[in-house]
Chain A
Amino acid sequence: MTLAADKNTDIVVPDGHVKLTIDGAEVVAPKGELLIRTAERLGTVIPRFCDHPLLEPAGACRQCLVEVEMGGRPMPKPQASCTLTVADGMVVKTQLTSPVADKAQAGVMELLLINHPLDCPICDKGGECPLQNQALKHGRTDSRFTETKRTFPKPIAVSSQVLLDRERCVLCQRCTRFSEQIAGDPFIELLERGSQQQIGTAQDQPFQSYFSGNTIQICPVGALTSAAYRFRSRPFDLVSTPSVCEHCAGGCATRTDWRRGKITRRLAAEDPQVNEEWICDKGRFAFTYTTEPDRLLRPRVRDAKTGELRDASWTEALRVAAEGLTKAKEAGGVGVLPGGRLTVEDAYAYSKFARVALGTNDIDYRNRPSSAEELAFLGSTVSGTNPEHGVTYGDIEKAPAVLLIALEPEEEAPGVFLRLRKGNRKHGNRVFHMGQWTTPAVVKTNGTLIPCLPGEEADMLGRLPSEVDELLRRPDAVILLGERAAEITGLFSTARELAAQTGAKLAWIPRRAGELAAIEAGALPTMLPGGRPVTDSVARAEVELAWGLETGTLPTAEGRDLAGILGAVANGRLAGLVIGSVDVHDLPNPELAERALDSGVFVVSLDLRESSVTRRADVVLPVAAISEKAGTYINWEGRRRPFPVVITGTNRLPDCRVLDTLAVEMDADLFTQTPAAAMADLGRLGHHTGNRIPAPSVDAGRPNRPGQRHAVLATWHQLIDHGSMQDGEPHLAGTARPAVARLSVDTAKAFGVADAALITVGTDRGSVTLLAEFADLPEGVVWLPSNSTPATVRTSLGAGHGALVTVTTAANGAAS
């Protein structure tokens, strides 16, 4: 047979490409491309189950058989097109032109269906099932199998969230390959042989993965289903709306499916630059918090007579709020605490509200431990971050070395963790974790721990192992800082210096989704929108011009930060507060916050659900949840992540609209009636091009040293914990990592708790009692999850990362 290449010579084959023929059509394909993809580019879809573009080829299901001819000689048997790479002069016939391929595919399908149950009506995959679809397209029309089907008891719970129905499994191994290759949690394995072959869990290891939901999504049949979505609906009755995850600063693309005004599930959407096709379980399953019974539906006003909150009309609530704020403004001023989970539009409304309606720079979105050094870092380094100039997910994957400081990627930025792991697997990246113990993330990124005392991180940067220093000097090396950096004196300054010295790129990855948006919107005491320093007269003039204010109206001095605002309220210097979705228990000093709120200050709270703030507020204004409004997040890369309204017609108002109307009551115009209007208003302002806020220059702090009586506390949040945005989803909560206190055997011995199962970690404020687990922490260091127990590190201990704590055997033997 004549080679196709000889027939037609006018197709140019670029370097690194080959030319082959598929179903009589000539195609040029890059070397190494899988046949199944080349065919796809041509518009020929070869049926498949196990093939997945982001997983390594397995050739497990044999559904993708095609006829192949090489060098004029047909290969003896039909070949799996998902494992075969293209070659020059290859002649391929798919099911479209080859009866042999077609028959082979029908045969494989018949075998697959032999033991497949007739479950479609009760199967969650029904209606979007590749097996259903491909069986109709490529299978036989009738069944020749009359014997009894193999059955298994169904379903088995692999975890509290993931259910496995072994009868439906087609053994494609997508789930096992995902767990092994992508997430690094080999929890399900292929067991047994022959017709008894099945997917199962390893006996000795309990299944624990933050990414298990992805296996449900990529399972080509209904073998893996989620407890949360089980039997909830059919895909053809759902409306699918693109959305963006609100849980961390990663900005993963998601798809929200809903019907009748209720979200039924959330799936990973595809975005190769950000989350590829994966999301973590928190992003997938934690959406029920918006429909909890304590959701605020109507405005509330504190009744003058009874002193209790009562329902009120919007008109009344806004009038009372406006009057109260105007009075408070005259009586000393009003502080604004927007919270760290806002969209740019909403954060911008808070920022403008503070300046225009309240005439103050007393605004700080950071509802977490923070520092003045961080403020300078945000202004000098983070503000204006964008994917063109800054670090991106792609950069993390390609970086020859990544140094993580005070960042626990799997717990705080799961998307970043997946990229780190991919980078290590694909390109052999070196990952260095500066932290306290060998966490699962260290193991799964094949990383190296640079151990240090909590609080010693900054100091440690000056004493990096020479290997790390060398690797950081390679082009494209990356340094990543986490949220906890604000608790470590001098870390921002030293990290900037290190980046400058080595040439490595520096990025800051906070935990909350609204952080970069709030920085861009100027929800900080030192910055106006677009990164403009409040003390810079040129910057102020720009803003005054854009906002139509008279010259000199904007306050010229830097405002108070979170601690400053709360302190000023507590001693009566500030007379009012406007608070967004802020949980008192997240704050570095919950006691001070409660004292401030109880001090008789006038509080206007804009929130989704009842909270310790709304209960103390004078006016409560309910706002729209993420699914009820449009908006834009800015992820840690500085990438804009706009999303539309998911559930339309709820009449719930986004923060920007509420603030706009409130401002009108106070005789000020924000022009933020809708998210689109707010975005346009911010867009007209643009990013600042003049002087930036000067970079911080703080010497590395001297960390607390453990002693005879005190240990040093290391702490960070676990991904799935007691956060209020995970409420109402018990199946997800069941997959949380167990809350344990970690310390080394030596430390335990030193504090005399080596034999105790339960230990109590305490401060003069209170204590947390937990099961103890031994790990490789530095001597005298004890680690606690920040918010995984009823007693939390912030509220019960009043402490943070690097604080001194006592460690004792639990007195009453009960975990708190």
Chain B
Amino acid sequence: MFDALKGFGVTFGTMFKKVVTEEYPEVKKIPAERYHGRHQLNRHPDGLEKCVGCELCAWACPADAIYVEGGDNTEKARFSPGERYGAIYQINYLRCIGCGLCVEACPTRSLTMTTEYELADDNRQDLIYTKEQLMAPLLSGMEQPPHPMRLGDNEQDYYVKGPELAVSMESAPFADSMETAPLKEQGK
């Protein structure tokens, strides 16, 4: 008799506790800022790509999720400062375990991770993200490559002057962090 009441007591008590149910997908949960979500390939302030197609991220990946092929920048078609750019870039989200080792390997901070976690689909093909899907959106002041180097004469200028440029770009609406601007701010 008493035991049954005790059981209802638990039920009754829970009714007054804070609810843990997530109202997803009606209400989207914002994860922690450093959550390991979908990757992003970042750009220099003028829109040129930071990726140099070095394949170091692919090498670092324990899940063999990344495929990269480098390409040669030419006078006519320049995608990144310097000689080399990532011509083909793919991440297979069926394989990726979100460890972030690729981000650590990237020598140019081209590759970072966003907090975007909605990575589900009903077929394999759509989960292999291509370069177009992974490229960071063009912020104000950025120009869609291919185009010539706007911030200096050679790729060294991009790295040497990079920090100053980032500061000077502070006035630009989303320039505080070109690399990991939260999705909502990037207008997504």
What residues of chain A have their CB less than 8 Å away from a CB belonging to chain B? Answer: 120-122, 126-127, 154-155, 230-234, 236-237
Report yes or no: A234 in contact with B72, Cβ–Cβ below 8 A.
no
Minimum C-beta distance from B131 to chain A (A): 15
B84: which of A231, A234, A236, A237 is its contact (CB, 8 Å)?
Answer: A231
Q: Which residues of A contact B84 (CB under 8 A)?
A: 122, 231
Minimum C-beta distance from B95 to chain A (A): 15
Asked if B107 lies at the interface with its beta carbon under 8 angstroms from chain A, I say yes
Report yes or no: A232 in contact with B83, Cβ–Cβ below 8 A.
no
Q: Which residues of A contact B54 (CB under 8 A)?
A: 120-122, 126, 234
Residue of B58, B83, B107 with most chain A CB atoms under a 10 A cut-off: B83
Asked if B140 lies at the interface with its beta carbon under 8 angstroms from chain A, I say no
Complex: A126 Cα to B108 Cα, angstroms: 16
Report yes or no: B72 in contact with A230, Cβ–Cβ below 8 A.
yes
Report yes or no: B56 in contact with A121, Cβ–Cβ below 8 A.
yes
Top 4 closest pairs, chain A to chain B, by CB: A231-B70, A121-B54, A122-B84, A234-B55
Q: Which residues of A contact B59 (CB under 8 A)?
A: 127, 234, 236-237
Minimum C-beta distance from B106 to chain A (A): 9
Asked if B98 lies at the interface with its beta carbon under 8 angstroms from chain A, I say no
Complex: A155 Cα to B83 Cα, angstroms: 9
Q: Which residues of B contact A231 (CB under 8 A)?
A: 53, 69-72, 83-84, 87
Count, chain B residues at interface, CB 8 A = 17
Asked if B136 lies at the interface with its beta carbon under 8 angstroms from chain A, I say no
Complex: A234 Cα to B54 Cα, angstroms: 8
Q: Which residue of B lies closest to A231 (CB)?
A: B70
Complex: A155 Cα to B72 Cα, angstroms: 12
Minimum C-beta distance from B103 to chain A (A): 15
Asked if B52 lies at the interface with its beta carbon under 8 angstroms from chain A, I say yes
Q: Which residues of A contact B52 (CB under 8 A)?
A: 121-122
Q: Which residue of B lies closest to A230 (CB)?
A: B72
- Can you give 9 A-B contacts (C-beta < 8 A)? A120-B54, A154-B83, A231-B69, A231-B70, A231-B72, A231-B83, A232-B69, A234-B58, A234-B59
Asked if B37 lies at the interface with its beta carbon under 8 angstroms from chain A, I say no
Complex: A127 Cα to B59 Cα, angstroms: 10
Q: Which residues of B contact A154 (CB under 8 A)?
A: 83
Q: Which residues of B contact A236 (CB under 8 A)?
A: 59
A-contact 0/1 string along B102-145, CB 8 Å cutoff? 00000110000000000000000000000000000000000000
Report yes or no: A232 in contact with B55, Cβ–Cβ below 8 A.
no
Complex: A122 Cα to B71 Cα, angstroms: 10
Report yes or no: B55 in contact with A122, Cβ–Cβ below 8 A.
no
Complex: A122 Cα to B52 Cα, angstroms: 7
Complex: A234 Cα to B60 Cα, angstroms: 12
Report yes or no: B70 in contact with A232, Cβ–Cβ below 8 A.
yes
A-contact 0/1 string along B43-72, CB 8 Å cutoff? 000000000111110110000000001111
Minimum C-beta distance from B152 to chain A (A): 14
Q: Which residue of A lies closest to B70 (CB)?
A: A231
Q: Which residue of A lies closest to B84 (CB)?
A: A122
Q: Which residues of A contact B58 (CB under 8 A)?
A: 234, 237
Complex: A232 Cα to B69 Cα, angstroms: 6
Q: Which residues of B contact A237 (CB under 8 A)?
A: 55, 58-59
A121 touching B72 in the complex, CB below 8 Å, given contacts A231-B53, A231-B84, A234-B55: no
Asked if B182 lies at the interface with its beta carbon under 8 angstroms from chain A, I say no
